[in-house]
Amino acid sequence: MTVIILTLCLIFLHEGFSYYVSFQVLALLTIAVSVLSKFRSVSGGPQFFIVFAVFGIFLVYKAIVAPRIIIQNDDPNVPRAVVGILGYAFMIGSIPHIRFRQPVLILKKLRSASSATILILAGLLALSESNLIPFLNREAFMQQNTRLVENWAMQEAVDANLEFGMEIKPDLFYGEGSALAVVLFSCLGCFIISSKLLIQDSNTSDRSMLKSRFKHTDTIILIGLACLFICQSLSAIVYGVVILFFVYLRERLALSKLMNWKTGVTITIILAIFIYFSYDNVMFRMSGSGGYYSIVQRFGVLLIIEPIDFLLGFDESKIPDHGRLQMQNGVIYIIAISGLAGLLYLISLSYSVFKLSIPIKLSLFSVLLVLGTMMQNMGVFSPNKIVLLWLILLPLACGGSMYPRQRPVAIAGNMNE
């Protein structure tokens, strides 16, 4: 039942009656109650609490001297925003240090939920692109964006886009293609890490049995990659390239298996999907007319900050007169609201993720998963983003719970070999 609820919540993550009466909150509660109830102990806690305390001090200081930096939405209540940020920051940073009872059971649930989400989203994308069902095509999904609790659009904007014939990109129930992409990215990361850990934890040395047990792993990864390349979002392309290299190509390059016929056919199919669905969009984004829009959104603020901003956080003068901090990057937002303490928080989190991933030889990949998910927009301290980060961090924490009894052998080569 937990797997079914979590899968539905991930698919309808941005749906709900209000921001807090929504699937994102239900997903958060489902994971907290059903998974975190297996709590056993804390490992390496003192270092995290010190970093978190420093982060909190810098955050409160910034809320006093530059409150407009803190605000992520239209709620002007800065104290409430500070409490919320601290709560969500603790939820993210503490997970790698938790050790669980029955970690294998948790991994199996996370693997099942993430794989089911990938397959259902792939089916919905296929229906959307086929245009066979009127209420499941791109235009219909765009119309429903007006009722979302995240990435919502005003009805006037939707009507204007349709009236002027603007290109409608695949977004399903997420409001924009990059939001769909980060859900796929997190689910693929969860599925890959969980699969690696379950393979490594297997008590059998019979490779044929392992192959039978995990025979669909590569297929699901490739389906997820295809979905990313269908999204027509620059961030989706980046996510797809990261997964394609670290999970599918790197080990084959190292093992000189790149030219076997299965790999060749697979790469050909993936490239064909990319060229058909996303090549023109990427070229537009990288052209002068595209204006590097996504890159400017996520990194443009770096052009106006100074070294002192990395020490104490951003100054309010960096905010345009008409509104709040204009950027779409959660990593930069963390630095903006806490300066050096935010950097320490990110370094501490990345180090924990890197260390937990060493036994499965996916350390850099796991760090990129976490940072890439954070960068999708500045709303890093929100229920939906916590859910996606937990999908990555929980399997790693389970791995940390299993290490004492694991064989010190990392799985190389094909995921299902």
CB 327 within 8 A of CB 354: no
Contact residues for 273 (Cβ-Cβ < 8 A; gap 6+)? 226, 229, 230
Tokens of 243: 């997964």
Name 294's Cβ contacts closer than 8 Å, sequence gap at least 6: 178, 233, 234, 235, 285
CA gap 143, 139 in Å, rounded? 6
Cα three-residue angle 113-116-120, rounded to 5 degrees: 140
Task: Write out the two tokens for 84.
Answer: 């919320």
Pairing of strands 98-100, 39-42: antiparallel
Quick check: 280 and 234 in contact, CB under 8 A? no
CB 238 within 8 A of CB 191: no
Give me the residue spans of the domains in the chain. 2-405
pLDDT in tens, the chain (417 residues): 889 999 999 999 988 888 888 999 999 999 988 877 887 777 776 888 899 999 999 999 988 888 888 876 666 788 888 999 999 999 999 999 988 888 889 999 999 999 999 999 999 988 888 877 777 777 777 777 778 888 766 666 666 666 665 667 778 888 888 889 999 999 999 999 999 888 876 655 545 555 556 667 888 988 898 888 888 777 888 898 888 888 877 665 554 444 455 656 666 666 676 666 656 665 555 554 444 556 666 666 667 777 787 888 887 776 654 444 556 788 888 988 888 999 999 999 999 999 999 988 889 999 999 999 998 876 788 899 999 999 999 999 998 888 654 443 433 334 443
Residue type, 7: T
Distance of alpha carbon 223 from alpha carbon 287, whole angstroms: 29
